[in-house]
Amino acid sequence: MKLRHRSKGKSGQALIVTSLIITLLLLSAVYYVIETEKSLVNNQRLIDSNFPVAKLGTRNTMISALANASNHGATAVLTEDLNRFSSILRNMSYGAEFDLSFAPSNSAPYQEGMWISWGKDGSGVSSAYVSFSINTSGPMENYHSEYEMNITTALHVEGVSTGEGEEKTVNFTCAVYDENGPALANEINIFYQNQTDGSWLSVSSSNDLAVLDFGNGTYSISFHAYSQQPVEVSAQIHDMRYIFVMANVTCTQI
Amino acid sequence: MRLLNDKRGQMRVIEAFFASMLLLSVLTLIPSQNNVKNASDQNLTSTAQHVLLTLDNNGYLSKLIENGSWTQITKCLQAALPPTMWFNLTVLNETNAEMNDIPMSSGNPINEEIFSFDYLCVNQGPSYAIYLIRLQLAVVS
């Protein structure tokens, strides 16, 4: 009888232990959900922040490749550099699939994403054009983004010459542009062609070189040259991004 | 009849129930604290991203790194970040080797909760280079 009474008295204890276990289970489940959610939100935020970084990175990569290619480099450097950037970006993707793919333009006048044309008609262009696609499989959301990037430095030159005999005064203007409009030049070098042997002579202060910078990408340049008519002039510039472009022009006498 | 009269366990059950309710009600407060932390992290993410994107927009940051102008970078960050924010910047190359030979920070951390943001900086110059920039931020608690 005593034994029976004791076992009855423990019925409450079993309930207490059961309720505590259930409470602990609930607690651990809620804690797990909170921690998982926190981790997912943090990862997603870091992935989201990768988008502007990726866009600026691709832009800077294209500028670097164009600066390289226009300064006696190979055009293949564009693909090599973009592959390198894409690979590093993928490695720091915070546990998500972050895939940056690209397609250099092969539509005329571009070849392998590059168009370098330094003409004799007073116009010169150094340009790169690439289409990009970003696919992200994040812990909370998936993204797909496509964009195109164009980096261009262009130069337009026109001018005239005056003077008697072989002593000429050459006046011409250089207009520099980038993909957004007028742009500043970092360095301008002028050459004119010696009509006797066809060699190009550098214009320096000994030629009374005068450069007037209008501050809007337009430069008015004059110098003295010893040349027969017409005077062939070559303007070679580096823009502020060290992209090189040149243009030749025939300065007819007026 | 005996079972109905035996009420010794009931009180304990009620106690346990109240204890469980108390624990669960405390637990409801945790998500709100968590949201505050998330909002703070989000704010620091956008601050770090904004500062680095602005500095890097015209290739200025990569030029400073290329020239080893660590003091100049520290000054730029001091000017760009609020004075109540602690920062520490580390520049790594592609092989994860630390490039800055002097620390670029605003002193000792003022908060145990340090937020870290990684940024890929690409050199615009003809010699291509990629730098991994790790910006750590903390605010006065």
Q: Do A9 and B8 touch (CB under 8 A)?
A: yes
A202 CA: distance to closest CA in chain B (Å)? 25
Interface membership of B56 toward A (CB under 8 Å):
yes
Predicted pLDDT of residue A90: 85
Contact criterion met (CB below 8 Å) for A102 and A131:
yes
Distance CA A90, CA A92 (A): 6
Domain ranges in chain A are: 155-253
Selecting from A31, A56, A92 the residue whose C-beta is nearest the C-beta of B56 gives: A56
* Predicted local confidence at residue A1, as pLDDT: 46
Residue B65 in contact with residue B121, Cβ under 8 Å? yes
Predicted confidence (pLDDT) at residue A66 exceeds the cutoff of 80 = yes
| Pick among B12, B120, B127 to test the A interface (most A CBs inside 10 A) | B120
Structural class in CATH, domain A155-253: mainly beta
How much is the pLDDT for A159? 92
Which residues, 6 or more positions from B72, have their beta carbon under 8 angstroms from its beta carbon? B64
Average pLDDT over residues A122-149: 87
Residue A96, Cα to own-chain centre: how many angstroms? 24
Supply the pLDDT for residue A222: 93
Mean pLDDT (chain A, rounded): 86
- The DSSP symbol for B69 reads -
Chain B residues 58-97 within an 8 A CB cutoff of chain A:
59, 62, 94
**In B, which residues are within 8 Å of A41 by CB distance?**
38
- Segment A153-179 mean pLDDT: 91
pLDDT band, very low/low/confident/very high, at B104 (cuts 50, 70, 90): very high
Q: What are phi and psi of A106, to 5 degrees?
A: -120, 15
pLDDT tens by residue, A206-251: 889 999 999 999 999 999 988 777 889 999 999 999 999 999 999 8
Q: Nearest Cβ partner of B126 from A19, A54, A64?
A: A64
What is the per-residue pLDDT for B2?
A: 56
* Tens-place pLDDT, residues B71-92: 999 999 999 998 888 999 999 9
- Is the model more confident about B70 or about A197? B70
Alpha-carbon distance of B138 to B109, in angstroms, equals: 7
- Separation CA A27–CA B13 (nearest Å): 19
pLDDT the model gives residue A226: 84
Residue to substitute from A11, A13, A55, A56, interface B, most B β-carbons within 10 A: A56
Chain B residue numbers with beta carbons less than 8 Å from the beta carbon of A73 are: 126
The yes-or-no verdict on residue B134 having pLDDT over 60 is: yes
Amino acid identity, position A42: N
- The number of C-alpha atoms within 13 Å of B136 and in the hemisphere containing its C-beta is 16
Residue B74: closest CA among B64, B84, B59, B63: B64
B45 and A49 in contact by Cβ < 8 A?
yes
Confidence band of A23 (pLDDT split at 50, 70, 90): confident
Place of tokens 């207009």: A175
A150, A127 contact by CB (below 8 A): yes
Widest CA span in chain B: 95
Q: Mind listing the pLDDT tens digit for each residue in A77-92?
A: 999 999 999 998 888 7
Q: Which two tokens stand for residue A70?
A: 């226009």
Q: What is the pLDDT of residue A10?
A: 61
Range of lowest pLDDT (A64-73, A229-238, B6-15, B41-50): B6-15
- Chain A contact present for B113, CB below 8 A: no
Q: What is the mean pLDDT of residues A100-125?
A: 93
pLDDT score, position A216: 94
> Could you tell me the domains of chain B?
39-139 (3.30.1140)
- The answer, yes or no, to whether residue B30 has pLDDT greater than 70, is no
Of A50, A150, A60, A141, residue with least CA distance to A100: A50
Q: Between B3, B38, B123, which is nearest A64 by CB?
A: B123
Of residues A242 and A253, the one with the higher pLDDT is A242
| Tokens 């970084």 -> residue | A53
DSSP assignments along A80-142, one per residue: HHHHHHHHHHHHTSTTSEEEEEEEE--STT-BTTEEEEE-SSSEEEEEEEEEEEEEEE-SS-E
Angle, CA A14 vertex, CA A11 and CA A19 arms, to 5°:
130
For testing contact with chain B, the best of A23, A46, A186 (most B CBs within 10 A): A23
Of A13, A34, A65, the CB nearest to B30: A34
Answer yes or no: is pLDDT of A95 > 80.
Answer: no
pLDDT given at position A138: 66
Kindly state the DSSP code that residue B140 receives in the 8-state scheme: -
Q: What tokens does B7 get? A: 């009420």
Residue by residue, DSSP assigns A199-235 as -EEE--GGGT-EEEE-SSSEEEEEEEEE-PSSEEEEE
Per-residue confidence (pLDDT) for residue A29, from 0 to 100: 85
Q: Is B19 on the interface with A (CB under 8 A)?
A: yes
Q: How far is A68 from chain B (nearest CA, A)?
A: 4
Q: Three-state SS for A15? A: helix
Kindly give, in sequence order, each residue whose CB lies less than 8 Å from that of residue A221, ignoring residues fewer than 6 positions away: A159, A171, A172, A173, A174, A188, A190, A209, A210, A211, A212, A235
Q: Whole-angstrom Cα distance, residue A126 to residue A96?
A: 37
Residue A2 has pLDDT above 60, yes or no: no
How far out from the chain centre does Cα B67 lie? Answer: 28
- Min mean pLDDT across A172-186, A195-209, B75-89, B119-133 is at A195-209
Q: What percent of chain A has pLDDT over 70?
A: 87
Whole-structure pTM value? 0.78
pLDDT for residue B38 is more than 80: no
